[in-house]
Amino acid sequence: EAGVTQSPRYAVLQEGQAVSFWCDPISGHDTLYWYQQPRDQGPQLLVYFRDEAVIDNSQLPSDRFSAVRPKGTNSTLKIQSAKQGDTATYLCASSFPWGGAYEQYFGPGTRLTVL
């Protein structure tokens, strides 16, 4: 069974540029999470979905970040006008219906560098 896949694996931008990250969760997983992991820190939840609905986006910087999951499968996280402080690894995870925190399966992440 394929795991969570993410693309691209790496991205390098100048400040002010936009970037999109794509995540394909494990088949059958209804819940999808996006985390931001700055260097030498733990992952921090940005937003999560159940099917196509946003359950919690309270930690998503809404002025420049957006996330969608239109058909309840794949998801896209977009940063408009990136800043150096956005430099981090962006992790996607998915889980079964009512799977619980310990059953989140993580992808390899997208490592973003903003110059």
Partner 1 sequence: AQRVTQVQSTGSSQWGEVTLDCSYETSEYSYLILWYRQLFSGEMVFLIYQPSFDTQNQRSGHYSVVFQKSFKSISLVISASQPEDSGTYFCALSELSGYGNEKITFGAGTKLTIKP
Among 20, 45, 66, 68, binds partner 1 (CB under 8 A): 45
Nearest distance in Å: CB 84, partner 1: 20
For residue 61, the minimal CB distance to partner 1 (Å) is 18
Q: Which residues, 6+ apart, have CB-to-CB distance to 110 below 8 Å?
A: 6, 7, 8, 9, 10, 11, 21, 89, 90
Residues 74-103, one symbol each (x = binds partner 1 by CB under 8 A, - = not), give: ---------------x-x-x-x--x-xxxx
Residue type for 38, please? P
Closest CA to 75 of 61, 58, 55, 101: 55
64: DSSP letter: T
Q: Which residues bind partner 1 (CB under 8 A)?
A: 31, 40-45, 48, 50, 55-56, 89, 91, 93, 95, 98, 100-104, 106-109, 111
